[in-house]
Amino acid sequence: MSGPDQLASFARDEQVWLLGGVFLVAALIEAWRPERARILPRGWRWATNLGLHLFGQWLFLAMLPVTIAVWFLLKIGGPHVAAFAPVGAWGGAWAVLVAALVLLDLATYLQHRLMHAFFPLWRVHSVHHSDIDVDAATAVRHHPFEIILSGMTALLLMLVIGMPPWALPIYATLGLTVQLAQHANLRLPARLDAILGLVLMTPGLHRAHHAVTPEYYNSNFGTVLSVWDRFFRTLAPPLPEENPPGFGVTPFLADRYARPHWALLLPFVLRPERPSGRQPQPLARSQRRA
């Protein structure tokens, strides 16, 4: 085993330790020098967010029998388009990996936009946005239905376009590592955040996505790369340093929604505020250079 196969094996086997290390470092920085003071104690919030992640992952694995047909078709060369064959012939396995990671990041951007635009999906996705204290633990705060939808979408994409299966664990590990850093309650130096933000979705850019005001949270949809938001004109500048808006979704701002059972029930018992559909104004040239 060599090349991307070996990297995928490492991503699968060491994911827990790698992500745990990133989460620990982020939590220590948050405790030492947080950007914002906490509103709620960490205990229930972390129990809720981590519990949602573990329950969603378990539920998805429990549904694997439903996806056996997908995996079987992949193994026997089922009905998919060999979209990566020319890339592999030109640049080998590593070129295929880069192309697959870029395509997966574009797919997650489009899926994220759909979750904000299509109201039934927004009801589920709003569980992620309802955290009023955004920190590293917010990165894994997703309703189990959203986890299942994302996993099935990735498997379907792999089947349709002939993406090699080893691309998924690599992107999953990369994406979650970046998301842990994005959601951390810390502030990068403005200059560094701006330079990185030319290509990557930085903590400063993603923090705007969690603002309670729709004109902000209906922007900055990228997972790893910010280039999709630039290309599709959905990029908003970072939040102002003075008097920035709070985080959350309007009906879900009460403390009780940090509890685990409410995070599971929110999409079904309350009607969240619908995204306005208003797109942010493109960054001015002075902001792009900042």
Residues of the chain with pLDDT under 50: 1, 79, 272, 275-290
> Which are the contacts of 116, defined by CB distance < 8 A and separation ≥ 6?
122, 125, 217, 218, 221, 275
Place of tokens 């001015």: 284
Q: Give the separation between CA 258 and CA 74, rounded to whole angstroms.
A: 41
At 172 the pLDDT is 92
Report d(CA 276, CA 278) in Å as an integer. Answer: 5
Kindly report the backbone phi and psi dihedral angles of residue 41, in degrees, each rounded to the nearest multiple of 5, phi listed first. -65, 150
Residue 220 backbone class (left: φ over 0; alpha: ψ -120 to 50; beta: rest) = left
pLDDT, residue 173, reads 93
Residues contacting 133, CB < 8 A, separation 6+? 36, 38, 39, 40, 45, 185, 247
C-alpha to C-alpha distance for 50 and 73, rounded to whole angstroms: 33
Q: What Rg value do the Cα atoms of the chain yield, rounded?
A: 19
Residue found by looking up tokens 């972390």 in the block: 46
Residue type, 208: A
**Terminal-to-terminal C-alpha distance of the chain:** 45
Helix ranges, the chain (H): 4-32, 42-62, 64-75, 85-117, 119-129, 144-161, 167-183, 190-196, 203-209, 214-217, 227-231, 260-269, 285-289
pLDDT, residue 197, reads: 94
Q: For the chain, give the longest Cα–Cα distance.
A: 58
Q: Is the CB of residue 162 less than 8 Å from the CB of residue 85?
A: yes
Residue whose token pair is 């509103």: 39
Residue 193, CA atoms < 13 Å, CB-side half-sphere: 17
- Which residues share a beta bridge with 200? 225
| One-letter identity of residue 207 | R
**Residue the block writes with tokens 């539920």:** 59
Cα distance between residue 163 and residue 101, in whole Å:
10
Residue 101 tokens, joined = 């990671």
Take residue 127 and report the two structure tokens written for it.
Answer: 């569980």
What does the pLDDT read at residue 128? Answer: 93
Sort 245 into a burial class: Cβ within 10 Å, 0-12 / 13-18 / 19+: middle
Dump pLDDT digits (tens) for 36-65: 888 888 888 898 899 999 998 888 777 665
Say if residues 197 and 226 touch (Cβ distance below 8 Å): yes
- Position 281 scores a pLDDT of 42
| Contacts of 159 by beta carbon, 8 Å cutoff, 6+ apart | 70, 73, 74, 78, 79, 80
Element (H, E) at 184: none
